[in-house]
Amino acid sequence: MLMSQIRWISFSGRALATVALMTTGGFLLHAQTASPSGTSSVQSVSAQEPIFEQTAQANGGELYSTSNAEMSGVADGTTQVASNTVPAFHFLDAMQYGGGRQRYGRPKYRGGNTNADGSPKWDFYVGAGFQMPVGTQFNYATTGWGFAGGGGRMFNKLAGVNLEFNYDHFGMTGAAVDYYSGLYGDPSNTNGFGGNVHVWSLSLQPVINLKAGEGWGAYVTGGVGFYHKVSNFTLPQQQEYCDPYYGFCEGYIANANIDHYTSNAPGFDGGFGFTYKISRFANERFFAEVRYTYMLNTYKPGLTVANAPTYTGNNLFPQNSQRTSYIPVKFGLRF
């Protein structure tokens, strides 16, 4: 019994000595990092404080930092110890701004076919529709059909200029056909005498977008160019077709030009249109537009009702050289 008590006392003593030794070591470790005045000189670097140089020191394996204050010489001579916390790395920020540093300024757009404001550099369009003759100088024609196409350079999303081709075809009024059928030897117009007028043009067309964006848009356009006008008189005639491979021929009846007149002139037009963008992810837009077209033809004297009994010239249709005006309406696609 006595021996058991002695062993218990010996074990308890060793345990107490171990606890005392650990406590003493803790106090000594704290004393090494404590300042003589009792205030701690170990300061973690604030997240707002810029760190210009960070160097690993061999003194105890601790990481020291040199800040603006230390570079200029701090009076108290204290040394700031950098925090062991590593700033978080954001992959998307690094990809967008280059290493996490945000950069401000004008956005950059890729591709050689895009303007600085993100709009396409090139404009192309095709369309078709009808046109109505206006004015007494074009009172022998009827409403017809036509088509157009063009393309050009857009300087930004608001302004550009296009090179455009137009073809506009008109019929002739019944009064004009009846009158000229007699002049060409068919007074009662029993043989199918007819006539038509067409105008083709090549012009420069500046365009201004009044509203451009998603959905509906609007624009104005107008330009100048070269206009070529042709008037044809036709009569059904016997035609013959011969096959070049098999060598046989067959006849058929078709309208053939028996006379025509031409006139070249400068001209201009102007109008407005509306667009509808098909998708926010595409550049294609439907458009509908209306214009007024005027041709500065030079009049060439010829046959008229007043001089018909005495006229001996060969210009039987001087109206072709009269000044010409009409209103074309086109529908199509811009892309």
Residue 230 has, within 13 A of its CA and on its CB side, a CA count of 13
Question: Do 286 and 328 touch, CB atoms closer than 8 A?
Answer: no
Q: What is the pLDDT of residue 81?
A: 47
Q: Give the pLDDT band (50/70/90) at residue 17.
A: low
Closest CA to 227 of 85, 323, 104: 323
34-38, 86-90, 126-130: least confidently modelled range: 34-38
91-100, 187-196, 222-231: least confidently modelled range: 91-100
Q: Kind and range of the H or E element at 207?
A: strand 194-211
Give this prediction's pTM: 0.65
Q: What angle do CA 318, 270, 163 make, to 5 degrees?
A: 90
Instruction: Determine the Cα–Cα distance for residues 324 and 326; give it in Å rounded to an integer.
Output: 7
**Res 127 pLDDT > 60:** yes
Percent of the chain with pLDDT over 90: 47
Q: What is the pLDDT of residue 64?
A: 43
Structure-model confidence comparison of residues 33 and 324, the more confident one: 324
Q: What is the pLDDT of residue 26?
A: 52
Q: What is the pLDDT of residue 224?
A: 98
23-32, 37-46, 129-138, 269-278: least confidently modelled range: 37-46
Q: What is the pLDDT of residue 12?
A: 52
Question: Do 68 and 105 touch, CB atoms closer than 8 A?
Answer: no
55-69, 135-149, 269-283: least confidently modelled range: 55-69
Give the domains, in start order, of the chain with CATH numbers. 39-104 (no CATH), 122-334 (2.40.160.20)
pLDDT tens string 198-215: 999 999 999 999 987 778
Instruction: Determine the Cα–Cα distance for residues 274 and 238; give it in Å rounded to an integer.
Output: 48
Task: Scan for tokens 């009662």, then name that residue.
Answer: 188
Q: Give residue 114's Cα distance to chain centre.
A: 7
Q: What is the pLDDT of residue 332?
A: 97
User: In this structure, what token pair is assigned to residue 111?
Assistant: 């591709």
Write the CA distances from 102 to 94, 95, 97, 205, 228, integer angstroms: 9, 11, 5, 44, 60
Contacts of residue 86, Cβ cutoff 8 Å, sequence gap at least 6: none
Closest CA to 221 of 158, 129, 266: 158
Average pLDDT of every residue of the chain: 78
Closest CA to 333 of 128, 139, 50: 128
pLDDT tens string 59-111: 444 444 444 444 444 444 444 444 455 555 554 444 444 444 444 544 544 56
49-53, 171-175, 253-257, 328-332: least confidently modelled range: 49-53
Q: What is the pLDDT of residue 56?
A: 42
11-25, 117-131, 171-185, 296-310: least confidently modelled range: 11-25
Amino acid, single-letter form, for residue 104? Y
Q: Give the pLDDT band (50/70/90) at residue 246.
A: confident
Phi, psi dihedral angles at 100 (to 5 degrees): 90, -10
Percent of the chain with pLDDT over 70: 67
Q: What is the pLDDT of residue 118?
A: 79
Q: What is the DSSP string of 159-198?
A: EEEEEEEEEEEEEE-HHHHHHHHHHTT-TT--S--EEEEE
**Res 39 pLDDT > 60:** no
Alpha-helical runs (H) found in the chain: 2-33, 68-72, 91-97, 174-183
**Res 287 pLDDT > 50:** yes
Q: What sign does the CA torsion over 156, 161, 162, 168 have? A: positive
Closest CA to 270 of 226, 335, 223: 223
Instruction: Determine the Cα–Cα distance for residues 192 and 186; give it in Å rounded to an integer.
Output: 9
